[in-house]
A and B are shown apart, each in its own frame.
Chain A
Amino acid sequence: MASRRRMLLKGCWSEFANALFMKCLLLRDLWQGWEDFSDESVSCNVQLKYVNRKFSNQYKATIGADFLTKEVQFEDRLFTLQIWDTAGQERFQSLGVAFYRGADCCVLVYDVNVMKSFDNLNNWREEFLIQASPSDPENFPFVVLGNKIDVDGGNSRVVSEKKAKAWCASKGNIPYFETSAKEGFNVEAAFQCIAKNALKNEPEEEICSQWIYLKVLRSTLEASSVID
């Protein structure tokens, strides 16, 4: 029976998608002194130049999370990143598993000027692995961002790049980026890396042969109707 027949596809699956979509969690502390910035969070700062943010403040107030959309071009493919930012709030805990469910990648952010925020990276990572319980935790695509390197010309910095990189290395070589969200420094590179890692991590999908058939049928027709 063909209906019982299933196909395992690696890589092939994404060929069906014109554009790839990723759910991306942004985990961080609600830092002290955050208010120094003209905007209130990393994501908001990122947004000023890079991310398309809308109505975020209303969302955050009620649900405890902020949602952003970012498009990234990687090689010849367009990625849409759906960024879930808790803004370090406790309230997002009310979303529980739903917040973590189906995440394709996880961005851990700390403030290079605040030691506590760096110490907490471990907690955020552990929490993520418990709640999201990814099928392959060893290879789940994390990215660490050391943010606010621009503050006070770098004089108030307390977490060294070396220390941060050592921690990342100990956790399975998590890619590390130093960013200045305010100035947009290195942010694009970080998102590129996120897209690249998430693509590598793409799992094998078990797919009905009928789905493939339907998909081929449709794409052929789309093509033929263009010709017409």
Chain B
Amino acid sequence: MSSDLSSSTSGDDPADPNHDSAPKTLEDQFASVALNVPENDAPASQESLNGVANGSLTDNNHRTEIESNERQGTAGGAEERIESNLEVEEVRESVERSVVWTRTISELEVEGPSSPSSSGYAGERGSTSASSGGSGIDGMGEDEIQEVRNDGSIDGVSDSPASWVPGKRHLDEDDASISWRKRKKHFFILSNSGKPIYSRYGDEHKLAGFSATLQAIISFVENGGDRVKLVRAGKHQVVFLVKGPIYLVCISCTEEPYESLRGQLELIYGQMILILTKSVNRCFEKNPKFDMTPLLGGTDVVFSSLIHSFSWDPATFLHAYTCLPLAYATRQAAGAILQDVADSGVLFAILMCKHKVVSLVGAQKASLHPDDMLLLANFVMSSESFRQATLTMLSLMSCFDDNFTSTSESFSPICLPRYNPMAFLYAYVHYFDVDTYLMLLTTSSDAFYHLKDCRIRIEMVLLKSNVLSEVQRSMLDGGMHVEDLPMDPSPRSGYLSPHLGQPRDSPERFRESYVGIGGPAGLWHFIYRSIFLDQYVSSELSPPINGPRQQKRLYRAYQKLYASMHDRGIGPHKTQFRRDENYVLLCWVTPDFELYAAFDPLADKALAIKTCNRVSQWVKDVENEIFLLGASPFSW
């Protein structure tokens, strides 16, 4: 973790030995900013003067750039880094779209102060492509706006987490229904013989013909010795994923990047493996007629809740998990008792509060992939069975001597796809309260009573050390609020930042002055992902990012940013700065962490960069409380 610190805080230290190529670019990029930091007050006006002059200049350039795209039509392909692999027609379409937006955006940019061109970013803008303006404008803006318009009328169901009820909807629909065809995002699972297994909307059996068509398309291409990955049809993307005898298809007009949609299909496949293991493959080998639908019957809620989480849970694209903020000592106490249990033959012991980890411990050499955690937590939280098992079950279960369920605890076979996709583990799940639950995973199907004893021991310790009440308190308090971002202008001076809880308790809080407008420098939200820990921390949502729609829109923007930063074709990027009509988005990737931040669309670039440095420093100052440290490193 110490290397984290150096990369961001010693931007002006060229002799940093830890990083060779990567930080060099970073330092270049942030050099001007870093130098500016100490002399914050006086040169500020000068800087902003520069900014305006240079800024309008760049804006003019930018505008002509896009207008020329319009004239050349396909030439836009070169500019469009993200969507450069599209068909000509598609590009032309998007260029036309982007032109519409250019006007608004140029106006915005002219009004708002822009960055000094002396900053490393001016050059960077060229190399990370026109994406800073061009592709940020393109598509995304249009889609998002349309989404706002459509969400209510077409989805019919409010996405608000409060009112969102898991489960299958619109069962009466099929591929002939107008409403079905208008849905913005479909997910299908089918077998390689074309039999439907799962559909997000509509009844699987009624979609038999549609499912056969999907299989025919996949097979048609496969017969030509090729593989179909993506089909674009107007605004729709059809993404295919073939996993042995299982085919997964997403049809979407949300303009999410291909990589994101593919990642979502991978998660859906993983969720299926978690429920059934990969031994379904053997069933298909033995009997191609095998019909999986009955096996998955009743798991609609698990899939629908996973699909729902694609729009609110950053873990679905970050491949990292997040922790409930807790005092270091509290988390240590929880970890200690879990470790104690793990030593007695438990493979993984995980204490969670909703989708956030309180503590987790693995047996020696056992490591848990963040995606497995996501899928496991989703399975447990979406299945009411784990919350409210009934007495009926007791009598029913007597025929399965090795599986047992009672009122507040349950024991269920599950599979962790990244750990071992072929084998079932057994999960003992116990809810301490509505949100807090313990999961003990074992390889032994006879371990129920042992795990029950373990749970009783754990519960006693947790109660005695007040962990459960601390968890409750943290749930209410939340974690990092952008309004609380420390204002100290010199984060390098080695001071100790206050604990997470402290500024919130102090009488004069900075945040009062920011209510409704986010944090300093127009900072609205951030996500910090620690690469070494496989964990991320996300700031609490606060106005103007409030409500599920803004949240969804922001996460889609992050997701797009994430995909573009990790695009293998054009190599990993270090930084990216985008401005569109919704946000300024800034992404900064180092060997230690990734920082994604959203600002007011009028935010000043230099100030935004400075703020990102402060955020990364702040995260490091409180890492004891927001991250689970000392856990075994997670393997990919």
Contacts and interface: CB of A to CB of B under 8 A. Distances in A.
Interface in A64-87: 65, 67-69, 71, 80-82, 84
Interface string B276-295: 11010011001111110111
Contact of B396 (A3, A208, A216): A216
Contacts of B383: 221
B385 A218 contact: yes
18 contacts: A16-B295, A23-B289, A52-B209, A54-B176, A67-B209, A69-B206, A82-B212, A94-B223, A95-B219, A98-B194, A103-B289, A206-B286, A208-B277, A212-B400, A215-B294, A218-B298, A221-B383, A221-B390
B191 A102 contact: yes
Contacts of B210: 67
Interface in B246-304: 275-277, 279, 282-283, 286-291, 293-295, 297-299
A21 B297 contact: no
B151 to A, nearest CB: 27
Contacts of A170: none
B216 A95 contact: yes
Contacts of B176: 52, 54
B223 A101 contact: no
Given A2-B445, A221-B385, A102 B277 contact: no
B212 A2 contact: no
B172 to A, nearest CB: 14
Given A23-B193, A214-B413, A217-B412, A17 B293 contact: yes
Interface string A184-227: 00000000000000000001011111111111111111111100
A130 interface: no
Contacts of B275: 214
B290 A84 contact: no
Contacts of A94: 220, 223
B196 A217 contact: no
Contact of A80 (B208, B218, B222, B445): B208
Interface in A38-72: 52-55, 59, 63, 65, 67-69, 71
Contacts of B291: 17, 20-21
Contacts of A155: none
Given A23-B289, A98-B219, A205-B283, A219 B298 contact: yes
A114 to B, nearest CB: 28
B195 interface: yes
Given A52-B209, A102-B195, A217-B405, 8 more contacts: A20-B291, A52-B176, A63-B213, A96-B219, A96-B223, A102-B289, A210-B413, A220-B392
A212 B550 CA distance: 42
B150 interface: no
A30 to B, nearest CB: 18
Interface of A: 1-3, 13-14, 16-21, 23, 52-55, 59, 63, 65, 67-69, 71, 80-82, 84, 94-96, 98-99, 101-104, 135, 203, 205-225
Contact of A67 (B208, B283, B289, B396): B208
A100 to B, nearest CB: 9
Q: How large is the interface on B (under 10, 10 to 19, 20 to 34, 35 or more residues)?
A: 35 or more
Contact of B297 (A16, A82, A96): A16
Interface in B166-205: 174-176, 191-196, 205
Given A82-B194, A206-B286, A67 B413 contact: no
Contacts of A135: 287
Interface in B215-244: 215-220, 222-223
B211 interface: yes
Given A102-B193, A220-B390, A220-B392, A215 B220 contact: no
A135 B286 CA distance: 9
Contacts of B212: 23, 65, 67, 82, 84
B287 A217 contact: no
Counting from the closest, the 4 A-B pairs by CB-CB distance are A102-B193, A98-B219, A218-B298, A82-B208
B393 interface: yes
Interface in B362-417: 383-385, 389-390, 392-393, 396, 400, 402-403, 405, 412-413
B263 to A, nearest CB: 26
A82 B206 CA distance: 9
A208 B424 contact: yes
A101 B193 contact: yes
Interface string B48-84: 0000000000000000000000000000000000000
Given A208-B279, A222-B298, A63 B288 contact: no
B423 interface: yes
A69 B400 contact: no
B9 to A, nearest CB: 50
Contacts of A81: 208
B219 A217 contact: no
A91 B383 CA distance: 46
Contacts of B299: 218
Nearest to A66: B209
Nearest to A207: B283
Contacts of B400: 209, 212-213, 216
Contacts of A95: 216, 219-220, 223
A65 B213 CA distance: 9
Nearest to A3: B424
Given A18-B297, A54-B176, A221 B384 contact: yes
A77 to B, nearest CB: 12
Contacts of A52: 176, 206, 209
B287 to A, nearest CB: 6
A196 B192 CA distance: 24
B447 to A, nearest CB: 11
A190 B426 CA distance: 47
A87 to B, nearest CB: 13
B215 A17 contact: no
B175 A101 contact: no
A1 B396 contact: no
Contacts of A206: 282-283, 286
A225 B294 contact: no
A217 B282 CA distance: 23
A95 B299 CA distance: 32
A97 to B, nearest CB: 8
Nearest to B298: A218
Nearest to A228: B388
A68 B283 CA distance: 26
B297 A103 contact: no
A102 B286 contact: no
A21 B209 CA distance: 12
Nearest to B385: A221
Contacts of B207: 69
B409 to A, nearest CB: 13
A216 B385 CA distance: 12
B213 A59 contact: yes
A205 B287 contact: yes
A3 B385 contact: no
Interface string B23-42: 00000000000000000000
Given A21-B205, A21-B291, A1 B283 contact: no
Nearest to A97: B219
A104 B275 CA distance: 26
Interface string B99-118: 00000000000000000000
Contacts of A103: 193, 289
Contacts of B389: 221
Contacts of A68: 209
